[in-house]
Amino acid sequence: MSNKIKCVVFDCDGVLVDSVSSWRTLHSFFGTQNHNLLEKFLSGEITDQEFMNLDIQMWKEVQPKIHQDDLFRAYSGIKLMPGARETVSELISNGIFVAIVSAGVDIFVSTIAGTLKVNDWIANGFNFDEDGYLLDDGIVRVSGQGKDKIINKLIQMNEFAPNEVLSIGDSDIDLSMYVEGSSFVGFNPSRENSKRAFEDAGVPIIEEKDLRLILPYVFD
Ligand SMILES: [Mg+2]
């Protein structure tokens, strides 16, 4: 095969699914808001782990016992991004490795990974007790600002060259998916910040919510 790109890595929230954040979905579900935590997190005052645990604490103040099924229910209305199914199956049928690297919620991202039949995925998430109730400590696997660590691991594990890898993200934070030599496409920039960061980075930007528009960046 003469195609240069051998691996496409997608962010999940806002890229494979038409919803800004799988964390925000849970906040709307429980009627909580974490704006000041987000600010503290972005300024480095609290870590990924603290951020996640404080989120869980807020939800437990509303509902002390939270079952796994409650969380699944919170995601029931979320839809795939238009073109997601067609795009991923086109990539896979051409022998391209497809992965999801998400700082979102694992129970949600795993459903999307299963629906789209991607080759590999990783996300942050929750611990549950044996009866399925949410425990206090979240699990950090992907730091939003450090997605390059995961991409590098993916490259090593599957013996790709960096220039065979294309990453797709919707937010400025996703620019951390870029590793030297690889490519990045900004898709559906959700905030003005993200659009500006994509422009500053000089990456291609797709504003229309149709994931099929990334295909020309894979097969050119
Ligand atoms: Mg996103």
pLDDT in tens, the chain (220 residues): 446 999 999 999 999 999 989 999 999 999 999 888 888 887 889 999 999 999 999 999 999 999 999 999 999 989 999 999 999 999 999 999 999 999 999 999 999 999 999 999 999 999 999 999 999 999 999 987 889 999 999 999 999 999 999 999 999 999 999 999 999 999 999 889 999 999 999 999 999 999 999 999 999 7
In a domain, 2, yes or no: no
Cα 17–215–163 angle (5° rounding)? 105
Cβ-based neighbour number of residue 19 at 10 Å: 20
Q: How far is the CA of 189 from the centre of ligand 1 (A)?
A: 9
Domain that holds residue 122: 7-18+79-218
Q: Which amino acid is at 122?
A: I
Q: How far is the CA of 1 from the centre of ligand 1 (A)?
A: 31
Q: Tell me, what CATH number does 162's domain have?
A: 3.40.50.1000
Q: Classify the C-alpha dihedral 204-209-213-214 as positive or negative.
A: positive
Global pTM value: 0.94
Q: What is the DSSP letter of 19?
A: S
Residues 66 and 165 in one domain: no
Q: How far is the CA of 170 from the centre of ligand 1 (A)?
A: 5
C-beta contacts of 92-95 below 8 A and 24+ residues apart: 92/117, 92/118, 92/119, 94/1, 94/3, 94/219, 95/1, 95/6
Residues 139 and 211 in one domain: yes
Residues 46 and 122 in one domain: no
Number of domains in the chain: 2
| Three-state DSSP class for residue 217 | helix
Q: How far is the CA of 173 from the centre of ligand 1 (A)?
A: 8
Residues 139 and 65 in one domain: no
Residues around ion ligand 1, judged by CB within 5 A, are 11, 13-14, 170-171
